[in-house]
């Protein structure tokens, strides 16, 4: 008698459990990460605004991340231990927040370091007897260790902004003199007659210097391994075309091909470390061709990184080298305002990169003090801002944009082909067959979305980001 009365209840629960519902998270400029009421999945409609083609899987996704910069650690280190731990949990712990799993770090100083340094400033020390990462033990190493506590499987790749100054013909970390309008404290003391130029090799193109620099990278890999940090990949130069007032070093593609093919590539192969090419910040496919078609250098390149104007080269590079792994290595960095309009621009970048073949997407500054000032005098955005007066923090709009994608799109997912009049979206399929849609709507809009034989019809708020997760 009791069993009979309970049977209808069990039947109802079974029917409910068989009804597919869609998880929905939304964010606007007013409120972030709102858990909306789940949507019910219906049969596909004859008329649709978007069609997700689950039969056309495009490139796979390796992951998402950002860069470990010294000033990021300075900012986060202002927080109380519990608050700082909460930020690292949010950024790195699997299944919690952003799920970062592929991150970048500098080899020596970059533009968001406390100041210039390298691991060996001893003139003529070709044997690297004075190599030291002591500076990093104050900042980058504890920064990375905190991340590894949350995600021990974090992949880290590294690139220098400048080699030791004695390896450059101008004997200085920078390439050019600052603009006059910059405050005196941001000057780099580079004489005008020692400025470099794009399209030239500032690194001394001689055998003993190439050998020493390859040894420099090897020492870096080994020193970090002794700190229980494994470097998975090395890129020989950040923005090798850019002549900057901060740590920088221009190279020609031919100069990099010689260094990679004869020195760096073999050294990294011995360390079981990937060799990457980039970061490509110019829209010039011929530079990629120079490296990949070089009989010595090309065989070592396992990934190409793009940022800034390099995004214009990606479509052709992806078409010419469809099997090459491509990274978006640095999201354009903003002006320190961290406003909604720049978040919308960041969304346009993300769509462009994924729609043109990238396998991983990286933000730039994880955290900065309020204002986002660099040692060299300008302001940039960050995922987290730390208030130096109250030692509190906040997540910025671009953090939630990253989270709208990286929280749900897992390593091994594939980008999916989409059709229809509405195209302000990205669609992925995870390895568990779940479908993830990230959609932006500029106006209040009802969308009819077909996903294979199913459909959903959400009504989107104006100027809103929306993530939908449809499970089989």
pTM to 2 decimal places: 0.95
Confidence of residue 5 (pLDDT cuts 50, 70, 90): very low
The verdict on residue 144 lying in a domain is: yes
Is the confidence at residue 16, as pLDDT, over 70? no
Q: Provide the token pair at 95.
A: 């299944």
Residue closest to 353 by CA, chosen among 331, 384, 372, 323? 331
Report, as an integer, the average pLDDT of 98-102. 98
In a shared domain, residues 404 and 426: no
pLDDT digits (tens, 9 = 90+) for 340-377: 999 999 999 999 999 999 999 999 999 999 999 999 98
In a shared domain, residues 296 and 317: yes
- DSSP result, 306-347: EEGGGGGTHHHHHHH-TTSEEEEEE-----S---HHHHHHHH
In a shared domain, residues 332 and 448: no
More confident residue, 178 or 420: 420
pLDDT (0 to 100) of residue 183: 56
The verdict on residue 1 lying in a domain is: no
Report, as an integer, the average pLDDT of 175-202. 86
Domain holding 428: CATH number? 2.60.40.1180
In a shared domain, residues 173 and 30: no
In a shared domain, residues 436 and 329: no
Triad 57, 61, 62: Cα angle to 5°: 150
> E strands within 80-204?
102-106, 155-159
Is the confidence at residue 15, as pLDDT, over 90? no
CB 337 within 8 A of CB 378: no
pLDDT digits (tens, 9 = 90+) for 374-394: 999 889 999 999 999 999 999
User: To the nearest whole number, what is the mean pLDDT of the chain?
Assistant: 95
Report, as an integer, the average pLDDT of 112-117. 98
pLDDT (0 to 100) of residue 181: 56
- Contacts by 210-213 with C-beta closer than 8 Å and gap 24+? 210/258, 210/259, 210/262, 210/263, 211/126, 211/263, 212/125, 212/126, 212/127, 212/128, 212/167, 213/163, 213/167, 213/259, 213/263, 213/264
The verdict on residue 13 lying in a domain is: no
Is the confidence at residue 182, as pLDDT, over 70? no
In a shared domain, residues 98 and 46: no
CA distance 278 to 303: 9
pLDDT (0 to 100) of residue 436: 98
The verdict on residue 394 lying in a domain is: yes
> E strands within 34-82?
34-35, 39-40, 42-43, 50-60, 63-67
Domain holding 297: CATH number? 3.20.20.80
In a shared domain, residues 247 and 342: yes
In a shared domain, residues 95 and 184: yes
In a shared domain, residues 53 and 69: no
pLDDT digits (tens, 9 = 90+) for 268-283: 999 999 999 999 999 9
The verdict on residue 16 lying in a domain is: no
In a shared domain, residues 255 and 378: yes
In a shared domain, residues 315 and 181: yes
The verdict on residue 8 lying in a domain is: no
Confidence of residue 8 (pLDDT cuts 50, 70, 90): very low
Report, as an integer, the average pLDDT of 400-410. 98
In a shared domain, residues 382 and 451: no
Domain with 188 in it? 62-408
The verdict on residue 11 lying in a domain is: no
The verdict on residue 9 lying in a domain is: no
Domains held by the chain: number: 2
pLDDT (0 to 100) of residue 184: 61
Could you tell me if residue 57 is left (phi over 0), alpha (psi between -120 and 50 degrees) or otherwise beta?
A: beta
């Amino acid at each position: 008698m009791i069993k009979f009365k309970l049977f209808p209840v069990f039947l109802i629960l079974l029917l409910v459990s068989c009804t597919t519902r869609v998880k929905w998270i939304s964010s606007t400029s007013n409120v972030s990460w709102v858990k909306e009421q789940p949507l019910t999945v219906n049969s596909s409609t004859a008329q649709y605004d978007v069609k997700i083609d689950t039969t056309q899987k495009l490139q796979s996704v390796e992951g998402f991340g950002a860069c470990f910069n010294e000033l990021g650690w300075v900012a986060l280190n202002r927080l109380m231990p519990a608050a700082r731990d909460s930020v690292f949990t949010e950024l790195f712990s699997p299944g919690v927040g952003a799920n970062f799993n592929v991150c970048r770090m500098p080899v020596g100083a970059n533009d968001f370091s406390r100041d210039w340094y390298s691991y060996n400033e001893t003139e003529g020390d070709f044997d690297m007897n004075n190599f030291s990462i002591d500076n990093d033990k104050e900042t980058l190493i504890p920064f990375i260790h905190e991340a590894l506590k949350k995600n021990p499987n974090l992949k880290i790749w590294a690139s220098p902004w400048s080699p030791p100054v004695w390896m450059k013909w101008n004997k200085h970390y920078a390439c050019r003199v600052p603009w006059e309008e910059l405050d005196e404290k941001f000057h780099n003391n580079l004489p005008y007659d020692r400025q470099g130029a794009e399209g030239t090799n500032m690194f001394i193109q001689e055998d003993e210097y190439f050998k020493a620099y390859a040894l420099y990278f090897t020492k870096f890999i080994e020193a970090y391994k002794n700190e229980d940090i494994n470097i998975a990949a090395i890129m020989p130069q950040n923005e090798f075309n850019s002549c900057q007032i901060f740590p920088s070093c221009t190279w020609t593609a031919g100069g990099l091909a010689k260094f990679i093919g004869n020195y760096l590539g073999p050294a990294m192969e011995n360390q079981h470390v990937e060799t990457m090419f980039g970061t490509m910040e110019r829209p010039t496919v011929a530079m990629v061709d120079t490296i990949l078609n070089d009989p010595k250098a090309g065989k070592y390149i396992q990934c190409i990184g793009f940022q800034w104007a390099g995004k214009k080269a990606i479509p052709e590079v992806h078409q010419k080298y469809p099997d090459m792994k491509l990274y978006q290595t640095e999201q354009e960095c903003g002006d320190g305002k961290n406003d909604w309009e720049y978040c919308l621009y960041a969304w346009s970048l993300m769509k462009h990169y994924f729609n043109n073949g990238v396998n991983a997407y990286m933000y730039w500054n994880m955290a900065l003090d309020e204002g986002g000032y660099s040692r060299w005098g300008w302001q940039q955005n960050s995922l987290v801002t730390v208030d130096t007066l109250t030692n509190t923090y906040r997540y910025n709009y671009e953090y939630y944009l990253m989270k709208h994608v990286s929280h749900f799109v897992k390593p091994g997912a594939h980008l999916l082909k989409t059709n229809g009049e509405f195209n302000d979206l990205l669609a992925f399929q995870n390895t568990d067959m779940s479908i993830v849609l990230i959609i932006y709507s500029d106006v209040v809009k009802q969308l009819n979305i077909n996903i294979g034989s199913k459909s959903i019809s959400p009504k989107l708020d104006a100027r809103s980001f929306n993530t939908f997760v449809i499970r089989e």
